[in-house]
Structure 1
């Protein structure tokens, strides 16, 4: 897992931040929408921002999605008090990695890398997330 995290971060750091901040990126609305839904424990809305494979898996019980996300180690996302976007990397046409920093209710900082894809007729959807805590303290 550590090797995956180092690889993802090294890819993201190759892109100049100033070029990334110039334009609001369209996939960020999907990330923010899913985060806000998880904060509200609204599994159905959170699932609507997920990729097709996730939506198919939870089709019969979409509310369970938020529960499973929290139980699988991603609870800090739903329990965060704020988030901010960092670097992103376009892997190919319609596929990006987006770095997101979270501050939880205890002031701990968490870093995540979201993989998103621009799905046909659906728009940008979350395909997966890698999350880790950092030694820093949020303000």
Structure 2
């Protein structure tokens, strides 16, 4: 019985170590799953900040690309004038929670620090479009309480 009692604590340590290693790898696994749509969101935000309507439009969904075909400056102006200037002029952004609704649809929370240090939260809806990848098909923006430091 003494030998069996000594093996039990060793097994617990081995199992605990294995679980720790596995849990440390979970964020990396989740990150790679999120990366495709986050890259599209970041690309569009950075294009807006740079005043580059043509690049921003490439990250938009097919409906936007069709509507503003050949008129990327009109797309940029429409977004800025539609209450999304906090995104267009944002100082920084960070990603929050996401919900992968299906294999081709994601809702992603994005937090912004606006040009006046105000805080904003946006819900991005993205679709994985054939042959082009993840594209922004809608955004709902709301101002949050507080200011960034």
* TM norm. shorter chain > 0.5: yes
For 2:121 and 2:53, how far apart are their aligned partners in 1?
22
Q: Residue 23 of structure 1 aligns with which residue? A: 31
Q: Residue 96 of structure 1 aligns with which residue? A: 106
- How far did 1:94 drift? 1.0
- Tell which has more relative contact order, 1 or 2 (C-alpha 8 A, sep 6+): 1
For 2:146 and 2:129, how far apart are their aligned partners in 1?
35
* Higher helix residue share: 2
- Under a length normalisation based on structure 1, what TM-score does the superposition of the two structures give? 0.83
Q: Structure 2: where are the runs of 5+ without partners? A: 1-25
* Higher strand residue share: 1
Alignment of 1:56-135 (within 5 A): 56-135=66-145
**When the two structures are aligned, how many residues end up with a matched partner?**
121
For 1:31 and 1:137, how far apart are their aligned partners in 2?
23
**8 Å Cα contact 1:20/1:88 also seen in 2:** no
Runs of 4+ in 1 over 3 A off after TM superposition: 19-22
SS where residue 72 of structure 2 aligns? coil
Cα deviation digits, residues 50-98 of structure 1 (max 9, x gap):
0000000000312211110010000100110000000000111110000
Point out the structure with max Rg over C-alpha.
2
**8 Å Cα contact 1:84/1:102 also seen in 2:** yes
- How far did 1:105 drift? 2.2
- How far did 1:137 drift? 1.2
